[in-house]
Structure 1
Amino acid sequence: MWKLLIADDEPRIRNGLCKALPWAEMGIEVAAEAENGKEALELADAVGADLMFVDINMPFMNGLELIEQLQTRRPGCLVIIISGHDEFAYAQQAVRLNVFDYLLKPVQKSELKSVIAKALDVLNRERVDQKYTQWMHHKLEYNALALREEFLGNWITGKLTKEQFEEERLFYQLHFHGNVSLLLVKPLKKISLDVPNKTWDPQLLVFAIKNILSEVLPQLPVSVVFSIGKHQVAALTQVSDLSAIRAVYQEFERTVTTYLGVNVFLCHRISGQLDDIPAHYEALREELLRESALTPIIAMAKKYLETYYYREDLSLSEVAEHMNVNATYLSKLLKRNLGKSFVDYLTDVRIKKAIQYLDDPTLKMYEIASKVGYQSQHYFSHAFKKMTGVSPLEYRKRGEY
């Protein structure tokens, strides 16, 4: 219903206007009454007045001053002056203030009814126009997002030249500077580690994953989330703090598992140049293809190891028990599918994570060792050198990370 506010310093006039017409039947609610201009201005905001009856002579703030204030406070509100003053100067000022109509007291019901009918016609037309404008804005916004997704998808898959990309990237507000992280996400079908698996329509699942990623990434400076094909989600994020971006990605992965009931393949790379992103995408895509080819049990085992690698007491028995399989059987599957034993693969995961931590010069070696599941810094250094050929300290000094 439309909200009507009656502003007049005479209670008799206000009461008469309240009873003048069957307001409810006309789709109007008498939302408030005010006895002075100042009170009327406050109430207009409070009740969201669409229509107002305003007297000119009122205390604290007269009707014309009130109407002038309403032009900025409630520009869509229609004002009908109901005054006892039949003076040209008042009428002239009312015209200047775009008053909808000017009625003289005492007001005839037929005259009031006629003016209200015109006001309702204007309000209803404005509401339709507003809804149409909102609909058009939504369509334009949706189409802009769809066009940006198509542009990003074509660029990242190598379908655009460097010149074509540079011509359009600013139009799509891709204002990246310095290091940029490319994240690639793919749902892990029919597998859930921590919650009962849910059945998802593939497109709806991708949509849900995009929404979660879009809510998480604004913690970082510049980011954009988009789909690639029907089953992949990608994100570009400007990197200012590597530890912060990793924390955000971990939060995203936990949120997807908790709220969607599925796990995801997630891989990312840091690029110093925006031009190199398509090449990084191809490498990540191949990585995802290899992951997708794994059997469900191996995929779950890898996921578990890559999630809980930091636990010093992580064991084959624990992983096997978590997945309700025999430890010996799981060990054979790991060797057959990954070409490595449980211990060797866990060591690989830990050392790769350690290499990521080495790019943070504020972390001490014993802190990095602890973060990747080694209580002994000596044992950590031994395992690191066995895998990379150099000690962690030498690796950091070389700047190979």
Structure 2
Amino acid sequence: MLKLLIAEDVKTVRDTLVCSIPWQQLGISLLGAAENGEEALAWLEREGADLLLTDIGMPRMNGLELIAEVKARQPETRCIILSGLNEFEHARQAVKLQVLDYVLKPIDPDEIERVVSNAAGQLLKEREGRREAAFALQSAKEKLPNLLDELPPEEWAGSLKKKKLAEQALRYMKDHFTQGDLSLSDVAEAVGLSDKYLNLIVKEVTGQTITHWIIRLRMEEAARLLEDPMIKIYEICERIGYADQDYFRESFKKQYGLTPTEFRNRFL
């Protein structure tokens, strides 16, 4: 059940919000109703909330200041503004603060119920998306093991010498896969073998060619970086050694079944 906190300085409005909405039927656990922003923030510090329904015009700390503080401390909390201040500047600030909805006074319990229900549904959908994304990433990581640390010895094939050569090649690729011009020839030169012979050894030992391993290492790193929304997709493309964003997008979708943007959206 999602938890919601109300912040409203007018007692009659506060009481109406507490008593007139069938919170339990909406799947909401009402934590309580704070009289001002400072009290609400202290409450949220003690017990986090999934949703915050707050007035704008409150003493000591107004609703927008409260939301800014909540976003900084508990970014997953979703906020809804309740106010009679129907002014463009407040609405614009609310958009910047990623407020889910903006409800005007005088309050209509049916409207509050509708807005909160929509917010709860959106939040649950986002969480389900994050769970699916986490599962997809974990599945991808299981398909892309760190062979140097995790591959069981019994899965290696061929002689000990071949194993060591393949391990050396994999280590070199792991250390240099972000170089955009990394090629089979570079890896072979580092190991001291011909391109063809090294590629045969790596495929015999691991089941994949060197080119496949370079791509897979890059895609694994891209998936990890996409979890951070502060890193731009073009920056990720550059970090893993791709100059062509379209080629990166195609390679990533081939590996994960999603474009980089679709993959990232599951974490937002």
Contact 1:32 1:47 in 2 (8 A): no
Aligned to 1:110: 110
Q: How does 1:1-400 map to 2 (within 5 A)?
A: 1-145=1-145, 147=147, 148-150=149-151, 152-153=153-154, 154=156, 158=160, 160-169=162-171
C-alpha separation between the residues in 2 aligned to 1:149 and 1:78? 40
Contact 1:51 1:78 in 2 (8 A): yes
Give, as a single letter, the amino acid of the residue that structure 1 aligns with 2:9. Answer: D
- SS across alignment from 1:160: helix
C-alpha separation between the residues in 2 aligned to 1:137 and 1:108? 43
Contact 1:84 1:105 in 2 (8 A): yes
Structure 2, unmatched stretches of 5+, are 176-268
Give, as a single letter, the amino acid of the residue that structure 2 aligns with 1:122. Answer: Q
Would the alpha carbon gap of residues 39 and 140 (structure 1) be closer, same or farther in structure 2, given more than 3 Å must change?
farther
- Per the TM alignment, residue 158 of structure 1 is displaced from its structure 2 partner at its CA by 1.8
Superposed CA offset, 1:357-393 (max 9, x none): xxxxxxxxxxxxxxxxxxxxxxxxxxxxxxxxxxxxx
Whose RCO is larger (CA < 8 A, sep 6+)?
2
C-alpha separation between the residues in 2 aligned to 1:92 and 1:128? 29
Superposed CA offset, 1:94-124 (max 9, x none): 1222111111111112211221222122012
Instruction: Report the TM-score when normalising by structure 2.
Output: 0.57
Would the alpha carbon gap of residues 162 and 107 (structure 1) be closer, same or farther in structure 2, given more than 3 Å must change?
same
Query: Which structure's CA Rg is the greater one?
Result: 1
Would the alpha carbon gap of residues 165 and 49 (structure 1) be closer, same or farther in structure 2, given more than 3 Å must change?
same
C-alpha separation between the residues in 1 aligned to 2:14 and 2:159? 70
- Per the TM alignment, residue 40 of structure 1 is displaced from its structure 2 partner at its CA by 1.5
- Per the TM alignment, residue 168 of structure 1 is displaced from its structure 2 partner at its CA by 1.5
Contact 1:3 1:47 in 2 (8 A): no
Would the alpha carbon gap of residues 46 and 141 (structure 1) be closer, same or farther in structure 2, given more than 3 Å must change?
farther
Contact 1:37 1:58 in 2 (8 A): yes
Structure 1 vs Structure 2: percent identity of aligned residues? 38
C-alpha separation between the residues in 1 aligned to 2:115 and 2:64? 20
Q: Greater helix percent: which structure?
A: 2
Would the alpha carbon gap of residues 157 and 151 (structure 1) be closer, same or farther in structure 2, given more than 3 Å must change?
farther
Q: Greater strand percent: which structure?
A: 1
- SS across alignment from 1:12: helix
Contact 1:54 1:63 in 2 (8 A): yes
C-alpha separation between the residues in 2 aligned to 1:152 and 1:11? 69
Aligned to 2:228: none
Superposed CA offset, 1:282-320 (max 9, x none): xxxxxxxxxxxxxxxxxxxxxxxxxxxxxxxxxxxxxxx
C-alpha separation between the residues in 2 aligned to 1:42 and 1:159? 64
Structure 1, unmatched stretches of 5+, are 174-401
Size of the aligned set, in residue pairs, is: 173
Superposed CA offset, 1:312-338 (max 9, x none): xxxxxxxxxxxxxxxxxxxxxxxxxxx
CA RMSD, 1 decimal: 2.6
Superposed CA offset, 1:219-238 (max 9, x none): xxxxxxxxxxxxxxxxxxxx
Superposed CA offset, 1:200-259 (max 9, x none): xxxxxxxxxxxxxxxxxxxxxxxxxxxxxxxxxxxxxxxxxxxxxxxxxxxxxxxxxxxx
Instruction: Report the TM-score when normalising by structure 1.
Output: 0.39
Would the alpha carbon gap of residues 167 and 8 (structure 1) be closer, same or farther in structure 2, given more than 3 Å must change?
same
C-alpha separation between the residues in 2 aligned to 1:32 and 1:163? 65
C-alpha separation between the residues in 2 aligned to 1:57 and 1:19? 22
